[in-house]
Amino acid sequence: MPLPQSDALCFFGATGDLAYKQIFPALQSMVKHGKLTVPVIGVAKSGWTLEQLINRAKASVTEHGGLDPDAFPRLVALLQYIDGDYASPDTFTQLREKLGAAKNPTHYLAIPPSLFPVVIESLGKSGAAEGARVIVEKPFGRDLNSAIRLNRTLHAVFDESAIFRIDHFLGKEPVQNLLYFRFANSFLEPIWNREHVVSIQITLAENFGVQGRGAFYEETGAIRDVIQNHLLQIAALLTMEAPNPQYRDSQREEKADVLNAIRPLSPDLVVRGQFRGYHNEPGVAPDSTVETFAAVKLWVENWRWAGVPIYLRSGKMLPATTNQVIVRLKRPPLSVFGETDLGLPNYVRFRLAPDVKIAIGARSKRDGEAMVGENVELVAVHNAGDDMPPYERLLGDAMRGDPSLFARQDTVEACWRIVDPILGDATPVYPYDPGTWGPEEQNRLMDHGDAWWNPPSENGRVGVPA
d(C-alpha 345, C-alpha 361), whole Å: 6
**Domain range 8-137, CATH class:** alpha beta
Of 328-332, 364-368, 447-451, the range with the lowest mean pLDDT is 364-368
pLDDT at 108 over 90: yes
Which is nearest to 403 in space by CA: 156, 162, 169, 103? 162
Cβ–Cβ under 8 Å, residues 290 and 218: yes
**Residues labelled as active-site residues:** 230
Of 176-190, 212-226, 328-342, 428-442, the range with the lowest mean pLDDT is 328-342
Strand pairing report for 293-299 and 270-275: antiparallel
Where residue 169 falls among pLDDT bands split at 50, 70, 90? confident
Instruction: Give the percent of the chain with pLDDT over 90.
Output: 74
Buried b / exposed e over 171-201, threshold 16 CB at 10 Å, is bbbbbbbbbeebbeeeeeeeebeeeebbbbb
Query: Measured between alpha carbons, how far is residue 342 from residues 55, 358, 451 in Å?
Result: 60, 21, 14
Other CB atoms within 10 A of residue 8 CB: 24
- The fold for domain 170-389+409-445 equals Dihydrodipicolinate Reductase; domain 2 (3.30.360)
Instruction: Give the percent of the chain with pLDDT over 70.
Output: 94
d(C-alpha 439, C-alpha 274), whole Å: 8
Q: What are phi and psi of 42, to 5 degrees?
A: -90, 140
Task: Please tell me the predicted confidence (pLDDT) of residue 312.
Answer: 98
Cβ–Cβ under 8 Å, residues 272 and 430: yes
pLDDT, mean over the chain:
90
Amino acid in the structure at residue 73: P
pTM of the shown model: 0.89
d(C-alpha 227, C-alpha 233), whole Å: 9
pLDDT at 177 over 50: yes
Task: Please tell me the predicted confidence (pLDDT) of residue 79.
Answer: 98
Task: Please tell me the predicted confidence (pLDDT) of residue 10.
Answer: 97
Give the pLDDT confidence of 47-101 residue by residue, as tens digits.
999 999 999 999 999 999 999 999 999 999 999 999 999 999 999 999 999 999 9
Cβ–Cβ under 8 Å, residues 252 and 408: yes
d(C-alpha 75, C-alpha 64), whole Å: 16
Quick one: average pLDDT of 371-386? 74
DSSP string, 62-131: HHTT---TTHHHHHHHHEEEEE--TT-HHHHHHHHHHHTT-SSEEEEE-S-GGGHHHHHHHHHHHTTTTT
Largest CA distance in the chain: 85
pLDDT at 386 over 60: no
**Contacts by 420-423, CB closer than 8 A, 24 or more apart:** 420/143, 420/144, 420/264, 421/264, 421/265, 421/266, 421/267, 422/223, 422/265, 422/266, 422/267, 422/269, 422/270, 422/296, 423/143, 423/223, 423/224
Task: Please tell me the predicted confidence (pLDDT) of residue 459.
Answer: 37
Where residue 462 falls among pLDDT bands split at 50, 70, 90? very low
pLDDT at 445 over 80: yes
pLDDT at 15 over 50: yes
Whether the link from the prior residue into 139 is cis, omega within 30° of 0, is yes
Q: Any idea where the domains of the chain sit in the sequence?
A: 8-137, 170-389+409-445
Task: Please tell me the predicted confidence (pLDDT) of residue 466.
Answer: 38
Report which secondary-structure segment, H or E, holds 431.
strand 429-432
Residues with Cβ within 8 Å of 324's Cβ and at least 6 positions away in sequence, in order, are: 201, 202, 203, 349, 350, 351, 352, 455, 456
Quick one: average pLDDT of 414-433? 96
